[in-house]
Structure 1
Amino acid sequence: MAQPSPIIRLDDVSFSYGASATPALDHVSLCIAPGEFVGVIGPSGAGKSTLAAALSGAIPHHYRGQLFGAVTVDGSDTCEVTLTDISRVVGSINQDIDAQMVASVVEDELLFGLENFGVPHDQIPDRLASALETVGIADLREREIATLSGGQKQKVAIAAMLALRPRVLVLDEPTAALDPVSSSTVFETLRALNRDAGITVVVIEQKVALLCEHCDRIVVMDRGRVAFDGTPRSVFSHGRNLRALGVDSPRVARISNSLAEHGVIEPGAPCLSVAEARDLVADLVRGQAAGEKNAAAGTPAKPRPALPADPVVSFRDVSFAYPGSRATVEHLSFDARPGEIVGVVGQNGAGKTTLTKLLNGLLKPASGEVLVAGLDTRDTPTSRLAAHVSTLFQNPDRQLCKDTVLDEVAFGLELTGVGAGEARERARSVAERFGLPLDAAPFSLSRGQRQMVALASVVVMEPEVVLLDEPTSGLDYRECMTVMETVREMAEKGCAVVMVCHDMEVVSDFAERVIVMADGRILGQGPADQVFADAGLMARADVEAPQVVRLAAELARDVSPAFAGASQVSDIVDTVEGMLK
């Protein structure tokens, strides 16, 4: 049976922005068949967004540069047809959602595309309602976009594109600002569109576990080239090579790959789901004479460092409501102490970002009190609070303003009165630790690198409190580890870290304590391993616990209590090896 012609084809494509001698795409050949669901991963600067721009026709029609080779969409060379013609076949969603919004109200955002594409008026109401319902934001139909969270805006952009019913969807990190449950919902929606409507989907994404669950194929980019291309199982069997590139693997794949490296199992296809990993471990352990001691021994609890008794951040029964909006937070109470990393988790709209703005003084509580380094935020100028609290916002572009990376990182120090020479020396040291090009213009860098610049400008201030709002969003695995190890070092030096984060694996790896929010309230808080192991709390907050925690719970229930409390890949691997001795 003859294979269908590719809906998109790249033949030996190279592209360099402007007059740059360094190609962003370097001799890329790729075919996307109708009906495929393709995931694209790779480190920051690997060419993923440039690939998306080529697939969607933004190259050559929007981005100028040197293009070689040919890109064909539905049989037409993208250089020979208009961007409007291409966009009738390929719908695209970029990383910068705010730049993609054209209306002030959600309904109008969807209407804009439908009317511009000449959709018959009698079809518009059904298309609009269906798209909003599919993405789960029917209740936001009349909301002003400016009042939405980053995750909610992402859903609006996806709904606006779905309403146009393109044959291909190209999405550049569509879940970067979404909580785990919303991320899963988006991918389930994309998979349903792919399966039921035959829409071809190409999605650039850092959440590798989601890709494994939904994609037929994974393409790995590195330095403008295709490094790997195959099924998820074949690609993630190269875990060591992927990590060397700066690409993570699902934790369950890490477990099976580690067991193979240790000689416990034969090398081969890795596990891609918790169920597969559970079955693998169960088959290994059952029938072994584990002995009563091994069967009863759980994973040792993580040592909890002794922390100062006095908190540097205190929320006492804090409530706040935005004028003219139903968005509120109510009765928030928690402390953060020097040397502590506190993770704040919950769905989009749970009130996490509002909590951060109350902490750094951008918002003042309607009732209750917020104390930072002994200062009451209600009567302390934000400029004075900034000497104690440094903030990394969700969107790094909102806090970049200088011409070079070095100037950007030194800027905050200079504002606080540090001499130019000392400021630049300290900035140089921090920027080099992050591997940043000192003389580059921040906005010439990739989204992940801009995030690193913004974080470097926070780290260099050496504050008493660091407030991180999605610090790993848009970062590759290597950058994520660099950022979080730096955050850990700051905590070890006595800085209190409050981190809002949707990546439960990162929170599990680095936070000593976790605060769980939903509907503007704190549902629970406590040591990270205990909070994530509380299935009832996770369900109430619609938060999905990390893969290793879920796997450990199933193994402890079905195989052996020795797995109870495991939260790291090494915990599972070490326990299996110990039981097989």
Structure 2
Amino acid sequence: MADSENSEPILQVSNLSIRHPDRSRATPSAVSFEARRGEVILILGPSGSGKSSLAMALAGIIPQYVAAELTGDIRVAGLETGTVPVPQLATVVASVFQDADAQLIAETALDEVSFAPENFLLDPIEIADRAEEALTLVGLWDHRDRDPETFSGGERQRLAIAAAFAQDPALLVLDEPTANLDSVAAESVYDALAARLARSDPPAVVVVEHSLDHVVGLATRVMVMDGAGAVRFDGTPREVLGDRAAEVAALGVWLPTATSVALRVAAAGHPVAEVPLDAVALARHLDTVAEPLPVRPAARAVGRAETVMEVRSLRVERQGATLVRDASFRIARGSVVAVVGRSGAGKSSLLAALAGVVPPPRGTVTLHAGDRRLDIGTARVREIVQHVGFVFQNPEHQFIEHSVTEELAFGLRRFADIPPGVEAETWVSAEVERMLARFDLTDLASAHPFMLSGGQKRRLSVGTALAADPGVLVLDEPTFGQDRERADELVTLLLEAQQRGVTIILATHDLQLAAAHADQVIVMASGRVAADGAVAATLLDDAVMTAAGLAVPALTRTLRGSMRHPELADVTRIEHIEVRVGV
């Protein structure tokens, strides 16, 4: 790794502020920092703090392609990003953004990864070597001849990362690079990044990330932005995530799992001198605690026995590829069902079939809607959307209006049951105002949905799906791009819907979310249902998870590291570790 302390800065950011159209304030606001080769700067902050805007500005996307008022200065390898054309900047800056689909253009994975080096007019042998190395690092070399259109969301994310690696940039900008990846794939991405950093000429790296367990060990510096877009904390991972952990958490930002557990254990009466950042350090602390920790048994709500959806021998195909094979299961009305699996296991394809977005074969998916039996494969779209709401993995795929207000109003006008005797537009306007407040979007009412942050887009997409008050809500990665506070709020909204009798079916890479809230877990592997059952029989079973190419949830892995506290082995929520009153 390069000696970053003695090298010249690759990246220089000076007093940067960005204000988007229709926004009253700039986020980020007055941000300054430098980065040298070999440094990994981790950017944290709540949704809407300007993290993604910062990432786009580093690559010149803002203001050259996305209109925004930018003040201050950004220079990469001496090039001013606001004025030097983006194609020229691409010789020194490579970026991976939240929506990988927006940056994939080629017809094969190999062509995608080769595209930038070819445009740099490199020698064909070097192009081939870079492409093979990059695809191998992310586990896609064997899929080099596939069309990215046939990839899962996680596979497309890894392909975008490989394309960035192949550019061999001086600055690598990663905006939520593992958001669509399972834990095993996320770990492999950061292993690949570690290999890049071990070279004699490593890039400077700026990472925007919510999931910290895999990246915290690589980070050399952590910057935490507050809701107003200003830098609140800046220092080493130990100084920020360890010494200021409680203050960082108070901003609604995720912490490493081990750090969150340590704070909870401290509240239970066992403080630690140095807050741990990883599972090994946490285990050492826990093993100094002699008495058993008080653990509250999980009071998991169980869905009523009545079946709301029945799936029989479901098969989903696309462009000649079989994505779901012979899936069969039942879903209880009012339950929370989590669909988990590796990237490419068939989760999104399964959910699209359940919601009728991709019509399943006749007779394979049946919705029990009151006294009716609705065949999702043959029913009209209007019939389906009155009973089933769907939230896409990429929120942009469901936005059709030009403002947040109109996006929410669209579904209400078309599908909601307007009370008799009430003027329709008056009722719609009142409901929109209520939903704007409920999803913390009031200040963005007139903003274009595509100009929202990733977390804001996700909240809007869930709001539009709930507008018609469906009996079944199907969500693909609902907490993707959410900070801790917003993720908790979103989960609360879903659980409130469940209490009203709504059945929640979600695909997620967040196994902790599934372990904490699911009544039923469907584990997918290679397009098949590998396991179907309660949390204890699926997510907490090492044999089941290993067979599916997964690891048990992060909290479970972390707590099972302690030899002295077997009472923690099957804890699925940190809140189940009881705190002492007054501590």
Length-normalised TM-score, structure 1? 0.91
Query: Residues 38 and 219 of structure 1 are in contact (CA less than 8 Å); yes or no, is this contact kept in structure 2?
Result: yes
The match for 2:431 among 426, 437, 460 is 426
> Which moves more between the two structures, 401-410 or 535-544?
401-410
Q: Does 1:216 align with 2:223?
A: no
Query: Residues 304 and 335 of structure 2 are in contact (CA less than 8 Å); yes or no, is this contact kept in structure 1?
Result: no
Matched position secondary structure for 1:357: helix
Query: How far apart are 1:83 and its partner, in Å?
Result: 3.5
Q: Does 1:465 align with 2:472?
A: yes
Partner of 1:260: 266
Partner letter of residue 394 of structure 2? N
Query: Residues 405 and 442 of structure 1 are in contact (CA less than 8 Å); yes or no, is this contact kept in structure 2?
Result: yes
Partner of 1:201: 205
Change (3 A) 1:368 1:272: farther
Partner of 1:360: 355
Partner of 1:321: 317
Percentage of matched positions with identical amino acids: 32
The match for 1:542 among 549, 552, 557 is 549
Query: In structure 2, what is the Cα distance between the partners aligned to 1:539 and 1:176?
Result: 21
Query: How far apart are 1:388 and its partner, in Å?
Result: 0.8
Query: Residues 319 and 367 of structure 1 are in contact (CA less than 8 Å); yes or no, is this contact kept in structure 2?
Result: no
Query: How far apart are 1:539 and its partner, in Å?
Result: 0.9
Matched position secondary structure for 1:383: helix
Change (3 A) 1:302 1:265: closer
Matched position secondary structure for 1:385: helix
Query: In structure 1, what is the Cα distance between the partners aligned to 2:286 and 2:47?
Result: 34
The match for 2:327 among 323, 332, 339 is 332
Query: Residues 523 and 541 of structure 1 are in contact (CA less than 8 Å); yes or no, is this contact kept in structure 2?
Result: yes
Query: In structure 2, what is the Cα distance between the partners aligned to 1:79 and 1:420?
Result: 44
Partner of 1:187: 190
Query: Residues 339 and 492 of structure 1 are in contact (CA less than 8 Å); yes or no, is this contact kept in structure 2?
Result: yes
Query: Residues 318 and 367 of structure 1 are in contact (CA less than 8 Å); yes or no, is this contact kept in structure 2?
Result: no
Partner letter of residue 73 of structure 1? V
Query: Residues 302 and 519 of structure 2 are in contact (CA less than 8 Å); yes or no, is this contact kept in structure 1?
Result: no
Query: How far apart are 1:489 and its partner, in Å?
Result: 0.4
Query: In structure 2, what is the Cα distance between the partners aligned to 1:441 and 1:432?
Result: 17
Question: Which runs of 5 or more residues in structure 1 are unaligned?
Answer: none
Length-normalised TM-score, structure 2? 0.90
Query: Residues 533 and 553 of structure 1 are in contact (CA less than 8 Å); yes or no, is this contact kept in structure 2?
Result: no
Query: How far apart are 1:422 and its partner, in Å?
Result: 2.5
Query: In structure 2, what is the Cα distance between the partners aligned to 1:140 and 1:259?
Result: 45
Partner of 2:76: 73
Partner letter of residue 250 of structure 1? P
Change (3 A) 1:41 1:282: same
Partner letter of residue 388 of structure 1? H
Query: In structure 1, what is the Cα distance between the partners aligned to 2:313 and 2:205?
Result: 46
Change (3 A) 1:81 1:398: closer
Partner letter of residue 104 of structure 1? E
Query: In structure 1, what is the Cα distance between the partners aligned to 2:297 and 2:512?
Result: 17
Query: Residues 26 and 229 of structure 2 are in contact (CA less than 8 Å); yes or no, is this contact kept in structure 1?
Result: yes
Partner of 2:460: 453
Matches within 5 A, 1:46-61: 46-61=49-64
Query: How far apart are 1:62 and its partner, in Å?
Result: 3.6
Change (3 A) 1:545 1:324: same
Matches within 5 A, 1:241-320: 241-266=247-272, 268-285=273-290, 290=291, 299=295, 301-320=297-316
Partner of 2:126: 123
Partner of 2:502: 495
Query: In structure 1, what is the Cα distance between the partners aligned to 2:449 and 2:198?
Result: 41
Query: In structure 1, what is the Cα distance between the partners aligned to 2:85 and 2:431?
Result: 49
Partner letter of residue 284 of structure 1? V
Matched position secondary structure for 1:532: coil
Partner of 2:421: none
Query: Residues 190 and 201 of structure 1 are in contact (CA less than 8 Å); yes or no, is this contact kept in structure 2?
Result: no
Q: Does 1:229 align with 2:222?
A: no
Q: Deviations over 1:138-168 (max 9, x none)?
A: 1221111222211111111111121121122
The match for 1:568 among 558, 570, 573 is 573
Question: Which runs of 5 or more residues in structure 2 are unaligned?
Answer: 419-423
Change (3 A) 1:547 1:358: same
Query: In structure 2, what is the Cα distance between the partners aligned to 1:488 and 1:233?
Result: 35
Matched position secondary structure for 1:38: strand
Query: How far apart are 1:82 and its partner, in Å?
Result: 4.2
The match for 2:365 among 370, 381, 389 is 370
Task: Write 1 or 2 for the structure with the bigger share of helix.
Answer: 1
Change (3 A) 1:116 1:566: same
Change (3 A) 1:122 1:521: same
Query: In structure 2, what is the Cα distance between the partners aligned to 1:75 and 1:485?
Result: 47
Partner letter of residue 558 of structure 2? L
Query: How far apart are 1:134 and its partner, in Å?
Result: 1.3
Change (3 A) 1:425 1:77: closer
Query: How far apart are 1:101 and its partner, in Å?
Result: 1.9
Q: Deviations over 1:491-543 (max 9, x none)?
A: 01111100101112222222222111110111112222442220011111122
Partner letter of residue 329 of structure 1? V
Query: Residues 339 and 497 of structure 1 are in contact (CA less than 8 Å); yes or no, is this contact kept in structure 2?
Result: yes
Query: Residues 14 and 69 of structure 1 are in contact (CA less than 8 Å); yes or no, is this contact kept in structure 2?
Result: yes
Q: Deviations over 1:58-102 (max 9, x none)?
A: 345444444433322224444564434432222112223222122
Query: In structure 2, what is the Cα distance between the partners aligned to 1:469 and 1:35?
Result: 35
Query: How far apart are 1:112 and its partner, in Å?
Result: 2.0
Query: How far apart are 1:279 and its partner, in Å?
Result: 1.6
Query: Residues 319 and 368 of structure 1 are in contact (CA less than 8 Å); yes or no, is this contact kept in structure 2?
Result: no
Query: Residues 391 and 461 of structure 2 are in contact (CA less than 8 Å); yes or no, is this contact kept in structure 1?
Result: yes
Matched position secondary structure for 1:72: strand
Partner letter of residue 477 of structure 1? R
Change (3 A) 1:368 1:537: farther
> What's the Cα RMSD here?
2.5
Change (3 A) 1:562 1:162: closer
Partner letter of residue 320 of structure 2? G
Query: In structure 2, what is the Cα distance between the partners aligned to 1:388 and 1:18?
Result: 37
Q: Deviations over 1:349-403 (max 9, x none)?
A: 1111111122112334448621112322233223312211000011111111123
Change (3 A) 1:19 1:507: closer
* Number of aligned residue pairs: 564
Change (3 A) 1:80 1:466: closer
